[in-house]
Amino acid sequence: MTSKTPVVDVHTHMYPPEYIQILESRDAIPIVRAFPGTADPRIVLLSTEMAPLKEAEAAAARGEPPATSSLPGRPLTSHYNSVAQKIHFMDTHGIDVSVLSLANPWLDFVDKDQAGSLAASVNSGFAAMCRAHPGRLYFFAALPVTAPADVLLQTIADVARLPFCRGVILGTGGLGRGLDDPAMEPVLAALADVGLTIFLHPHYGLPGEVWGPRGGTTGEYGHVLPLALGFPMETTIAVTRLFLAGVFDRLPKLRLLLAHSGGTLPFLAGRIDSCVRHDAHLWKAAKTRRSIWDVLHEQVYLDAVVYSDVGLQAAIAASGGVKTGGLDRLMFGTDHPFFPPLESDEQGEWESVSMNADAVSTALGDGSPEAAAVMGGNAVRILRLYEVPTDKA
Ligand code: URA
Ligand code: ZN
């Protein structure tokens, strides 16, 4: 008897209710705001959404009814905070297992005195969701990056003991100064020591000026520039800085799962390698270290959230598909609840999911063992998803 390889979604977010409450009480982004006459409140996350937020608030104060298309951010539907909705989404798309993570900007903005307790409550909320759906849900824990170092390190020790926790989600800011900040190294070392994979995810994008006036303050180009280009560049820059700082060599047990197939890293790794080899100052130290290619082949996993077989082929090649004789480092994801369909029922199939699943089939062959590995087999092995604890989390 053969058993089907499960389909696993490693890139799927939620905002638990206690987190939404905090966003509702805020005056600046990240923020949740209700506007009169609209069905759902809006969740506003990105700095480019700040100007449309201010305009919508001013219009609401003047008593002008908002046009839905001009509202800032996105509607906060049950897809963002309901575990029942997550399970429905999984069933609709044939997803057997999801590895949940808090969505951006995680706990990056939380006051340092509250970060530790909010992390504990968010993480125990995720653990409870997983316990209620054994075998279907696991999670990447959230870290209190603004908390004092002892609180942060204690959180890592605590979440490592939670039965359904398989890693942590982390933004590129680290403790506020990037992942290559020397103060970040003990944190990365602690994660590496306890074997927690870091799911590295962007949020901050690039400085608003790069989008020009039409892409920034007027909002003419919507979310396209920051999400399609800013997010991937942010991830690429963060990992390259980590590489240049020599962190991967000092922490050989460190494992990173990079969102959006590593940003532009698969495409730019050759250029990074060449620039290192042609920088007289850097090369002295770098020639005794492993190259960016070695890091990609040994310490980095990529998700398959790239929406096209062309990008997916680059990700496969960069993560050592041919070299290792298998496509063993790529893992399917959806980015749910972001990118819902605009013109069909949100309770039905999402094009943003089928685009990623179709990219895998087109690149690797529909139903092939390689496609099955990317769709779930790799995640089961890498994140140990066969272990379903029966004890209390
Ligand atoms: N995907 C995410 O994970 N976050 C965003 O803010 C937008 C898309
Ligand atoms: Zn995401």
43 lines ligand 1 (CB under 6 A): no
Q: Whose CA is nearest to atom 1 of ligand 1?
A: 338
Q: pLDDT exceeding 70 applies to what percent of the chain? A: 96
Distance CA 362, CA 158 (A): 42
| Dist. CA 14 → ligand 2 center (Å) | 10
Per-residue pLDDT averaged across 38-45, rounded?
92
Atom of ligand 1 nearest to the CA of 259: 3
Using a 6 Å cutoff on CB, does residue 227 contact ligand 1? yes
Report the complex ipTM: 0.97
Sheet holding 31-33, edge to edge: 31-33, 42-44, 74-75
Name every residue whose Cβ is closer than 8 Å to that of residue 252 and which is 6 or more positions away in sequence.
192, 298, 299
pLDDT band at 391 (very low <50, low <70, confident <90, very high): low
**Which of 15, 31, 74, 231 has the most ligand 1 atoms within 8 A of CB, as the residue to mutate?**
231
* pLDDT average, residue stretch 182-203: 98
Mutate to test the pocket of ligand 1, among 11, 31, 104 (most ligand atoms within 8 A of CB): 104
Q: Name the DSSP class of 2.
A: -
| 335 Cβ closer than 6 Å to some ligand 1 atom | yes
Query: Please, what is the average pLDDT of the chain?
Result: 93
Q: Are 42 and 75 in contact (CB under 8 A)?
A: yes
Q: What is the pLDDT of residue 321?
A: 67
Atom of ligand 1 nearest to the CA of 11: 3
Q: Which ligand is nearest to the CA of 333?
A: 2
CATH code: domain 8-16+81-382 is 3.20.20.140
261-279 pLDDT, tens digit per residue, is: 999 999 999 999 999 999 9
- 44 Cβ closer than 6 Å to some ligand 1 atom: no
Residue where the block lists tokens 């949940």: 100
65 vs 346, higher pLDDT: 346
Question: For residue range 67-85, what is the model confidence (pLDDT) as tens digits?
Answer: 766 788 899 999 999 999 9
Amino acid found at 71: L
Q: Which residue has the tokens 């305009």?
A: 55
Query: What is the residue with the minimal CA distance to atom 8 of ligand 1?
Result: 338
Burial of 207 (0-12, 13-18, 19+ CB in 10 A): exposed
pLDDT 10s digits, 246-266: 999 999 999 999 999 999 999
Query: Using one digit for the tens of pLDDT, what is the confidence trace for 297-348?
Result: 999 999 999 999 999 999 999 998 666 655 899 999 999 999 999 999 999 9
Q: Is the confidence at residue 245, as pLDDT, over 90?
A: yes
In this prediction, residue 1 carries a pLDDT of: 42
Separation of first and last alpha carbons in the chain: 33
Could you tell me if the CB of 107 is within 6 A of ligand 1? no
Residue whose CB lies within 8 A of the most ligand 1 atoms, among 50, 227, 307, for a mutation test:
227
CA dist., res. 264 & res. 301, Å (int):
14
Whether pLDDT at 11 is above 90: yes
Average pLDDT value for residue range 26-43:
91
Q: Where are the domains of the chain?
A: 8-16+81-382, 17-79
Q: Please give the distance, rounded to the nearest whole angstrom, from the Cα atom of residue 205 to the centre of ligand 1.
A: 11
